[in-house]
């Protein structure tokens, strides 16, 4: 029996694998894809993660992330508000970052099962039995659920949010466009959504938007929706006309759910988006996933070995309350702020607020971001 099985190898899963393998536990991580691979994500990472990543020897200096120090918000007419970012951040593709952390986790002794999907997680005496695709089964004393926003694994645990339909879709491109600033993360409103643009490594930019399934149905294709909806915003219109696209097709996901989830479900400790997804406008989901990987590992190590049922109960309640304390308020503020995006009147209102009451932007950023850890 393994000590720890980590289900899903995004940021939360990989950081947990690194920390727990470093502490000498016998760790296996199951990931349904094979590194490196692309993911829908805005790829702007708050600098709050830098001290921690450096402390575990995992800040990817050599990948030369783009340094980001300014924020720009535009409404649908192109009216803009700008703010310097107190803490700042960096732009780096998930293709590079996740692959880098995967290599680190392997070096530290974590074992990987790639191209294997978690199908079911069942509690047994002293641990869990996990069913993987292709007929494989693994047993572990503890399972960390790090499978992201929405997965068949949520369905197998009968999590209620899984059955709720949502209108959100996410679309990501990597582009080159000479006129874009190097040091800025921008959010541009358009009918039904908003689009983030940020520089990443190798002279490329990430363009990633949260849009509406209804609008996509209305226009019939992504191209038509981009031309007619995104193109209403003059900034996006220029990018759509001038950019060269670095991949044949975009990454696309749907059924994005920002609703509440539990941090522990049937004994599985959830880390990252599987415990709750912050709205992308906050640009903080990746930092939260990294922080959650740290938090879950530290909490597990404080309660290890899990040799009694009472210790498991203690671990579950300690993790739930630590998770709530660190993340619950940020998720709530993110949900409320998102209501100001994607509508003509509301986005003009939010740009007006930021232009006229400069400290407000700072307050929202402080509420949706954590402190450096
Ligand atoms: C449109 C959009 C834009 C965003 N932009 C930003 C941004 O600019 N900055 C930011 O900080 N955050 C952003 N986020 C949020 C950020 O992407 C997530 O919060 C972050 O990726 C969470 O990491 P994770 O490790 O929890 O999940 P993930 O990175 O999603 O990793 C989960 C992993 O689990 C694997 N998996 C799933 N199911 C199974 C299974 N059954 N078996 C095995 N493996 C499985 C998946 O393949 C995946 O690799 C954005 C989100 C969206 C939707």
Whole-number pLDDT of residue 33? 98
Judging by beta carbons within 10 Å of its beta carbon (0-12, 13-18, 19+), is residue 65 exposed, middle or buried? buried
Question: Coil, strand or helix: which one is 215?
Answer: helix
Using a 6 Å cutoff on CB, does residue 285 contact ligand 1? yes
Using a 6 Å cutoff on CB, does residue 90 contact ligand 1? no
The atom of ligand 1 lying closest to the CA of 196 is 8
Report the alpha-carbon distance of residue 87 to residue 283 in Å, rounded: 12
Residues 6+ apart with CB under 8 A from 304: 3, 25
Tokens of 341: 């995006």
Cα separation of the two ends of the chain: 33
The atom of ligand 1 lying closest to the CA of 284 is 11
Residues 6+ apart with CB under 8 A from 329: 367
The atom of ligand 1 lying closest to the CA of 43 is 8
Report the alpha-carbon distance of residue 218 to residue 214 in Å, rounded: 6
Using a 6 Å cutoff on CB, does residue 200 contact ligand 1? no
DSSP for 223-292? HHHHHHTGGGSHHHHHHHHH-EESSSS-EEEE----S---SEETTEEE-GGGT----GGG--HHHHHHHH
Nearest-CA residue for ligand 1 atom 15 is: 285
The atom of ligand 1 lying closest to the CA of 209 is 1
Pocket test for ligand 1, best of 87, 152, 186, 273 (most atoms within 8 A of CB): 273
The atom of ligand 1 lying closest to the CA of 12 is 25
| Distance from residue 356's CA to the centre of ligand 1 (Å) | 35
Using a 6 Å cutoff on CB, does residue 276 contact ligand 1? no
Pocket test for ligand 1, best of 133, 286, 338 (most atoms within 8 A of CB): 286
Contact 268, 316 (CB under 8 A): no
Using a 6 Å cutoff on CB, does residue 132 contact ligand 1? no
Nearest-CA residue for ligand 1 atom 8 is: 42
φ, ψ for residue 33, nearest 5 deg: -110, -175
Nearest-CA residue for ligand 1 atom 16 is: 285
Q: pTM (2 decimals)?
A: 0.97
Using a 6 Å cutoff on CB, does residue 65 contact ligand 1? no
Using a 6 Å cutoff on CB, does residue 290 contact ligand 1? no
E strand or H helix at 111, and its extent?
strand 111-114
Whole-number pLDDT of residue 213? 96
Using a 6 Å cutoff on CB, does residue 30 contact ligand 1? yes
The atom of ligand 1 lying closest to the CA of 33 is 47
**Tens digit of pLDDT per residue, the chain (373 long)?**
999 999 999 999 999 999 999 999 999 999 999 999 999 999 999 999 999 999 999 999 999 999 999 999 999 999 999 999 989 999 999 999 999 999 999 999 999 999 999 999 999 999 999 999 999 999 999 999 999 999 999 999 999 999 999 999 999 999 999 999 999 999 999 999 999 999 999 999 999 999 999 999 999 999 999 999 999 999 999 999 999 999 999 999 999 999 999 999 999 999 999 999 988 888 799 999 999 999 999 999 999 999 999 999 999 999 999 999 999 998 998 888 888 877 777 777 777 778 777 677 777 777 777 789 9
Diameter of the chain measured on Cα atoms: 62
Report the alpha-carbon distance of residue 146 to residue 144 in Å, rounded: 6
Using a 6 Å cutoff on CB, does residue 118 contact ligand 1? yes
| Residue-wise pLDDT tens digits, 87-129 | 999 999 999 999 999 999 999 999 999 999 999 999 999 999 9
| Distance from residue 345's CA to the centre of ligand 1 (Å) | 31
Do β-strands 2-7 and 244-245 pair in parallel, antiparallel, or remain unpaired? unpaired
Judging by beta carbons within 10 Å of its beta carbon (0-12, 13-18, 19+), is residue 185 exposed, middle or buried? buried
| Distance from residue 13's CA to the centre of ligand 1 (Å) | 10
| Residue-wise pLDDT tens digits, 279-295 | 888 879 999 999 999 99
Q: Nearest 5 degrees, angle CA 31-CA 32-CA 33?
A: 95
Question: Coil, strand or helix: which one is 176?
Answer: strand
Using a 6 Å cutoff on CB, does residue 250 contact ligand 1? no
| Distance from residue 229's CA to the centre of ligand 1 (Å) | 26
């Amino acid at each position: 029996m393994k000590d720890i099985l980590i289900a899903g190898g995004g940021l939360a899963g990989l950081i947990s694998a690194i920390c727990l393998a470093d502490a000498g536990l016998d760790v296996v991580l199951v990931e349904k894809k094979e590194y490196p691979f692309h993911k829908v994500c805005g790829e702007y990472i708050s600098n709050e993660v830098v001290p921690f990543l450096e402390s575990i020897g995992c800040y990817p200096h050599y990948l030369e992330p783009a340094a980001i120090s300014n924020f720009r918000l535009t409404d649908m007419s192109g009216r803009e508000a700008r703010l310097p970012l107190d803490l700042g951040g960096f732009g780096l593709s998930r293709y590079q970052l996740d692959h880098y952390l995967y290599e680190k986790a392997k070096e530290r002794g974590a074992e990987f099962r790639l191209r294997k999907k978690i199908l079911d997680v069942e509690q047994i005496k002293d641990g869990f039995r996990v069913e993987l695709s292709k007929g494989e089964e693994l047993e572990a004393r503890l399972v960390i659920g790090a499978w992201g926003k929405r997965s068949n694994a949520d369905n197998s645990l009968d999590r209620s949010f899984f059955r709720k339909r949502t209108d959100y879709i996410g679309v990501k491109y990597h582009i080159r466009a000479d006129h874009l600033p190097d040091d800025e993360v921008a959010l541009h409103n358009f009918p039904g959504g908003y689009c983030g643009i940020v520089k990443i490594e190798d002279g490329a930019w990430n363009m990633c938007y949260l849009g509406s399934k209804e609008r996509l149905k209305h226009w019939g294709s992504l191209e038509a929706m981009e031309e007619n909806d995104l193109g209403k915003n003059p900034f996006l219109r220029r990018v759509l006309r001038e950019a060269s696209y670095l991949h044949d097709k975009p990454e696309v996901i749907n059924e994005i759910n920002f609703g509440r989830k539990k941090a522990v479900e049937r004994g599985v400790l959830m880390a990252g988006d599987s415990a709750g997804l912050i709205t992308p406008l906050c640009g903080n989901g990746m930092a939260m996933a990294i922080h959650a990987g740290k938090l879950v590992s530290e909490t597990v190590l404080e309660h290890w070995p899990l040799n009694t049922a009472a210790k498991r109960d203690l671990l579950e309640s300690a993790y739930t309350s630590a998770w709530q304390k660190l993340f619950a308020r940020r998720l709530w503020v993110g949900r409320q702020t998102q209501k100001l995006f994607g509508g003509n009147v509301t986005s003009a209102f939010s740009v007006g607020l930021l232009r006229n009451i400069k400290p407000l932007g700072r307050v929202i950023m402080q509420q949706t971001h954590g402190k450096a850890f």
